[in-house]
Amino acid sequence: MAKNKLNKNWLHDHMNDPYVRLAQKEGYRARAAYKLKEIDETENLIRPGQVIVDLGCTPGSWSQYARNKLAGKDGGGINGTIIGLDILPMEPIADVHYLQGDFREPEVLQQLESVLQGRKVDLVLSDMAPNLSGIAVADAARVAHLIELAIEFARSHMKPSGSLLVKCFNGTGYNEILEEFRKEFKVVTSKKPKASRDKSSEIFLLGKILKNPL
């Protein structure tokens, strides 16, 4: 009974969520687009001509937002390159290179290299989150692992002057992740956009300028 009530409450909140309605109206696949939009508007992260990688991109709302920001090139298309990576399938998005698979696998890395054509990445986005179990310590370890992967990816593929934005959770293990970011980046800020629900411990970490690029 309690679970049914919880599901009904979630559904009610979801259907009445202004960001869900806005996403439906503006054609975004998820309300998450507005989290990136707000961070981008304050930090000016997405700019014409950039190479952007979206880790854990499915269902694609962050790639959609980035694509819309880079649109407007003469004759259609975008002024820049967007590459989405995920182990889950994603419906195609115009002008976005989507690669399905684990980005640590040689085959996927090879595909990535062929799209990059020797270029380094300006911006790495990661809205990746594990399936949470409710066991704080185990969940914190899963979150930390995904963020480590994103940092590792940024160190390997990003320009020294680039930026990495990751989803995090303000709870067990957060201070350690923050410390890790401070070790890797010269400028570190945390962001809680309005589109992130108040009751969620979700927070975003933004690192700019690598201290020790590979």
The answer to whether residue 139 scores a pLDDT higher than 90 is no
Pairing of strands 121-126, 158-169: parallel
Torsion angle defined by CA atoms of residues 157, 163, 165 and 168, in that order, rounded to the nearest 10 degrees: 90
Q: Per the residue annotation, which of 35, 37, 69, 167 is the catalytic one?
A: 167
- The reply to whether 54 sits in an annotated binding site is no
The answer to whether residue 187 scores a pLDDT higher than 70 is yes
The answer to whether residue 94 scores a pLDDT higher than 80 is yes
- The reply to whether 139 sits in an annotated binding site is no
pLDDT band at 128 (very low <50, low <70, confident <90, very high): very high
- Pick from 172, 128, 169: nearest CA to 151: 128
CA distance 71 to 74: 9
Residue 131: DSSP 8-state: P
Q: What is the pLDDT at residue 161? A: 97
Neighbour order of strands in the sheet with 185-191: 96-100, 81-86, 51-55, 121-126, 158-169, 202-210, 185-191
Q: What is the pLDDT at residue 10? A: 46
The answer to whether residue 7 scores a pLDDT higher than 80 is no
Domain range annotation of the chain:
32-210
Torsion angle defined by CA atoms of residues 178, 159, 122 and 157, in that order, rounded to the nearest 10 degrees: -80
Q: Hey, is 113 helix, strand or coil? A: helix
- Pick from 105, 149, 153: nearest CA to 129: 149
Distances (CA, A) of 142 to 9, 110, 165, 197: 27, 26, 17, 21
- The reply to whether 62 sits in an annotated binding site is yes
Contacts of 103 (CB under 8 A, 6+ apart): 55, 85, 109, 112, 149, 153
- The reply to whether 86 sits in an annotated binding site is yes
User: Residue length, the chain?
Assistant: 214
Pairing of strands 96-100, 121-126: unpaired
The answer to whether residue 199 scores a pLDDT higher than 90 is no
pLDDT band at 196 (very low <50, low <70, confident <90, very high): confident
The answer to whether residue 98 scores a pLDDT higher than 80 is yes
What's the average model confidence in pLDDT over 188-205? 91
Average pLDDT, the chain: 91
Q: What is the pLDDT at residue 129? A: 86
pLDDT tens digits, one per residue of 60-88: 999 999 999 999 767 678 999 999 999 99
Residue 149: DSSP 8-state: H
Q: Which amino acid is at 153?
A: F
Whether residue 183 lies in the annotated active site: no
Q: What is the pLDDT at residue 17? A: 85
CATH of 32-210, one of 3.40.50.150, 3.40.1010.10, 3.40.225.10, 3.90.25.10: 3.40.50.150
* 3-state SS string for 18-81: HHHHHHHHHCCCCCCHHHHHHHHHHHCCCCCCCEEEEECCCCCHHHHHHHHHHECCCCCCECCE
